[in-house]
Amino acid sequence: MTMSSDTSQSSSAPARGSTRAKQPQPIKALHVGSGDPLLLLHGFMMSPHCWEQTAARLSTHCEVFAPAFAGHWGGAPTGGPSVDVGSLADRICEQLDELGWRTCHIAGNSLGGLVGVELARRGRARTLTLIAPAGGWHAPSLTQWRVNLKFLSLIPLVEIGKRMGGFVIGNPLAQRVALLALSKQASVVSRRDAAAALAAALHCPAMVPMILGAMRAPAQDDLSTLRTPVRLLLSEYDRVIPNRVYARRYLKELPESADRILVNGVGHVPMLEAPDRIATLIAEHVYASRTRLRAV
């Protein structure tokens, strides 16, 4: 089993010297472009904002839809005290039905990757691109508890941030601290994207219900049963779910036909640092499916 490595450089401009951005506003979904239907799913405590640059690049050849998850910033209410991958996928399926998309290409980051796997199991995915996906652990297990405790430890910081409101969202120091977890090179992430990431983390009513639900959730089924063409993108500097621990199941269980690519020089949410590279890696997988060629 081998993993290839992506070493090309991001073309996104450094954010140093940029002007102070206005306070970001919640959005229910990004919906841009025309062509092959492409669903983009964000991570836990994030929002569609993290896809904006990548979606713009992909929209030249794809009809891109990037919704906010229920219970997340811009998303619908969860409708109950418990939130899990299944309920998030239910709502996404409803949105796909509203669009008239029986199937579509899917790319998901972190939690979005885990939901993408669930959608693929339901027969909704033409191709599946997993970007630093969550769920690479057995349950119950110490690894499962470790990642949930990591998010539980953020609750006091989130509560403090809520009380400080817009000051935190627009504060360069607070943005830099947040980006330490999400990126490798905070300096290349725009102030606007950093502010949106902070705002999403501070406006996520599903935070505690999802953490508690994840502690009780069973492990996902064996990944070798996936029949959808899969491309796995792992971030070299993932500080949220480091590859050496949390990527093992994906590397071991995904079918041999799946692409396994290490994206160099990026953190857990690589779309913030390298939108060109991530757009290209998604697009390659989408285009290869047209002729049933494996993207390498």
Q: How far is CA 261 from the centre of its chain?
A: 16
Query: Token pair for residue 32?
Result: 């841009």
CB 71, CB 78: distance < 8 Å: yes
| β strands within 42-162, DSSP E | 62-67, 104-109, 125-131
| β strands within 120-247, DSSP E | 125-131, 230-235
Task: List the catalytic residue out of 6, 193, 238, 259.
Answer: 238
Q: In what order do the strands lie in the sheet with 104-109?
A: 4-6, 259-263, 230-235, 125-131, 104-109, 36-41, 62-67, 29-32
Active site residue 110: yes
CB 152, CB 211: distance < 8 Å: yes
Question: How many CA atoms does the CB half-sphere of 40 hold within 13 Å?
Answer: 33
Query: Token pair for residue 6?
Result: 């992506």
Query: Token pair for residue 51?
Result: 């896809």
Task: List the catalytic residue out of 110, 183, 190, 235.
Answer: 110
Active site residue 238: yes
Task: List the catalytic residue out of 42, 203, 268, 285.
Answer: 268
List all residues 6 or more positions away from 101 whose beta carbon is below 8 Å from its beta carbon.
Answer: 37, 39, 65, 124
For 86, 185, 223, the CA distances from 121, given in Å and listed in that order, are 11, 35, 10
- For the annotated catalytic residues, the residue numbers are 110, 238, 268
